[in-house]
Amino acid sequence: MPEDHVRHATLIDQQTPPSPRAVRPRHAASLIVYRANGDDVSMLMGMRGAKHRFMPNRLVFPGGAVDRADLDARSATKLSPHTEHLLRKSANARLAHGLGIAAARELHEETGLSLGAPPHLHVLYLLARAVTPPPGPIRFNARFFAVDARHVSGTLGGDGELEGLRFYAMQEALALDLAMPTRRVLERLRLWLAMDEAEREVQMHTPVMLRDRGWRME
């Protein structure tokens, strides 16, 4: 290669910033505790503080990343066969269990409410999965579970990570400035609640939200 071409190529290399390394999404679980009485539906939600690196000042459901200890933690009951089947499409058996444990643990830490100690996992239903799109310094592969408030116990409080923690009516929540994944999951919850138990049990695919913020079925 001629010397001037070598100098030109070297100059370009020096001026071009290195491509950022892709961040691998962390497995995470969120839990939607809902109250439903006909069309009157409300969900337990709270506001993430302004100092949070991920989704600050956003209304969210209790949840967080799966810890290593979650993978082998004890539970009072196993995931239901239906929820286990749905989770196993994107997780092995150990991770599927860990996701259920993480949902129960985060609920207790952030809200003071409990699925039991050890937790009863059979009451969890997998509603949706969402993967934070690249690029971004913080990414999650989050599973959203739903549970009827009748299955939880305790006094609402938590560790203070979620502010304004309370049950929000569906229409009240949807009227707020929600992050798009949160809004889409709430819309999915509304459709799911309109089904009867038999219709829910024959749902063999889980909606997954990826880069385009639309759903695909898994």
Average pLDDT over residues 2-23: 52
pLDDT band of residue 143 (cuts 50, 70, 90) is: very high
Cis peptide bond prior to 135, omega within 30° of 0: yes
pTM score over 0.85: yes
CA dist 45 and 29 (Å) reads 14
Cβ atoms of 47 and 176 within 8 Å: the answer is no
pLDDT band of residue 213 (cuts 50, 70, 90) is: low
Average pLDDT over residues 166-180: 94
pLDDT band of residue 210 (cuts 50, 70, 90) is: confident
Three-class SS of residue 30?
Answer: strand
Domain edges within the chain: 26-217
Q: Does the pLDDT at position 15 exceed 70? A: no
Bridge partners for 28 per DSSP: 65, 142
- Predicted local distance difference test score (pLDDT) of residue 1: 47
Beta strands in 39-171 (DSSP E): 40-48, 59-60, 63-65, 125-131, 140-148, 162-169
Average pLDDT over residues 151-168: 91
Strands 26-37 and 63-65: antiparallel
Cβ atoms of 190 and 173 within 8 Å: the answer is no
CA dist 161 and 209 (Å) reads 25
How far is residue 44 from each of residues 1, 73, 101, 117, 140, measured CA to CA in Å?
66, 25, 18, 20, 21
Of the two residues 132 and 100, the one the predictor is more confident about is: 100
pLDDT band of residue 159 (cuts 50, 70, 90) is: confident
For domain 26-217, is the CATH number 3.30.930.10?
no
Cβ atoms of 39 and 154 within 8 Å: the answer is no
Q: Does the pLDDT at position 69 exceed 60? A: yes
Of the two residues 118 and 1, the one the predictor is more confident about is: 118
pLDDT band of residue 10 (cuts 50, 70, 90) is: very low
